[in-house]
Homo-oligomer: A and B are copies of this chain.
Amino acid sequence: MISVGIVGGTGYTGVELLRLLLKHRQVRVDVLTSRTEAGKPVADMFPSLRGHTDLAFSDLDLNVLKQCDVVFFATPHGVAMKHAAELIAANTKVIDLAADFRLQNLQQFEKWYGMAHSCPDILKDAVYGLSELNRERIQSAMVIGNPGCYPTTVQLGLAPLLKSAQALIKPESIIIDAKSGVSGAGRKASLGMIYSENADNFKAYAVAGHRHHPEIVEALEGISGQQGVFNDLVFVPHLVPMIRGMLSTIYVDLTDEAATLDVQALYEAFYQHETFVDVMPEGSSPETRSVRGANQLRIALYKPSPKKLIILSAQDNLVKGAAGQAIQNMNIMFKFAEDEGLAGIGLLP
C-alpha cells in the first residue's frame, strides 16, 4: 500500500484519478489539494464520490506531499515543474498530467506554452509516459510526463509501422484528422465550452496550430529514431458534441516495400501482449463508447489501395488519454500488476 497525493483535484482529470484510485487495492489517496477549495469535502463538489471517500481538499503543502510515495499533478501547465525538484529530493515520485515534462525541446515548450521551463535538468531525466512504448524507462523514472490525449492515439496508432526495421510509410504523408469530446477542454468557466455552444454542433478548431502538434512530432521522432522527417505532418483536431471519447483517423502513404505487407498481422503481433491496446478484427470500426470509462485504446486498419493506409485509433480521452494512463504508469513504477485498478469495463450504452 503506497501513499498517493493529487495536486489539483477539481478538474476532470482530478476526479477521474479519484474514481480510479479509490478502487485501486494498493494505494491510499492521502492528499488532495486545491488552490480554491481547501477544506471542502471532495464529495461535495463531485457527488458521484459520496459514500466512497471522506477526503477533503487541502492547501498545497510540500511538507505534506513529501510524505507521499507519488504525487499526481492534475494542474494547469507550469505547476508541476515548480515543485518537482523538492519532491524528488524527498524521494517522492511525480506524475504530471500537464505538459511540463512532455517536450524535451525547450524552445517548442516555450513557444506553445508561453513560459520558460524552470527545471530543464529534471526534464532531461523525466520519462515520457506512453506506457506501452516506454515501459522499461518508466519503471525507474522519478518524473513522468504523462502524454497528451491526442498524441496517445497517434503514437499507439503508428508505432507498429514506425518501429519496423523497414521503412513502411512515407513520414511526410501523415495526416491526422482527430476528434475529441468536450471534456478534453477541462472543467473551467469558458464561453466556448458552454452547452449551448457545443451541443448539436461540429467544427474543427486550432487548425492553424495546436499544442499537441509538436508533442506528436517529437514523439514520432523518438519512436522511429528519425529526426526531422515529420515536419509536414498535418494534424487537425475537431470538437464532437459528446463528453468523453476521442478518435483519430490517421492517413498514411505506404512505401513500395509495404505495398504487400499484412498490416493487420503486423499490428496484432506488435500488441499481442498489451492489455490496453486492442487491435480489432478487419472491417471493424472502434466506437468511442466502447471504451467509455475504460483504460483501453482500440485500433482498426483499412487499406483502401495498395499504397494507402487508414488507421482508426479510439480511446476515452480522460482515461487512456489522461488519468488511466497516469495510473498505468504508476503501476509500472511501483511494480504493481499493470491493470490493477484499471480493469473496469466501458460503460455501454
Contacts and interface: CB of A to CB of B under 8 A. Distances in A.
Contact of A200 (B49, B242, B284): B242
B251 A234 contact: yes
Contacts of A46: 290, 348
B249 A251 contact: no
A38 interface: no
Interface in A298-327: 298, 300, 302, 304-305, 307-308, 310, 312, 314, 318
A15 B348 contact: yes
B179 A47 contact: no
- Copy tally for this chain in the complex stands at 4
Nearest to A247: B202
Contacts of A195: 182, 193-195, 197-199, 241, 243
A263 interface: no
A324 B203 CA distance: 21
Contacts of A148: none
8 contacts: A19-B347, A49-B345, A188-B191, A195-B243, A199-B199, A200-B245, A204-B312, A207-B312
A187 B177 contact: no
A281 B68 CA distance: 32
A290 B349 CA distance: 16
B189 A48 contact: no
Contacts of A291: 48
Nearest to A293: B347
Given A182-B196, A197-B349, 13 more contacts: A19-B347, A47-B286, A177-B249, A183-B196, A193-B194, A193-B195, A195-B243, A199-B200, A199-B241, A201-B288, A232-B305, A292-B347, A293-B347
A105 interface: no
Contacts of A49: 345
Interface string A190-228: 110111111111111101100000000000000000000
Nearest to A348: B48
Interface in A228-251: 232, 234, 236, 238, 240-245, 247, 249, 251
A39 interface: no
A35 interface: no
A242 B343 CA distance: 26
Contact of A290 (B50, B275, B305): B50
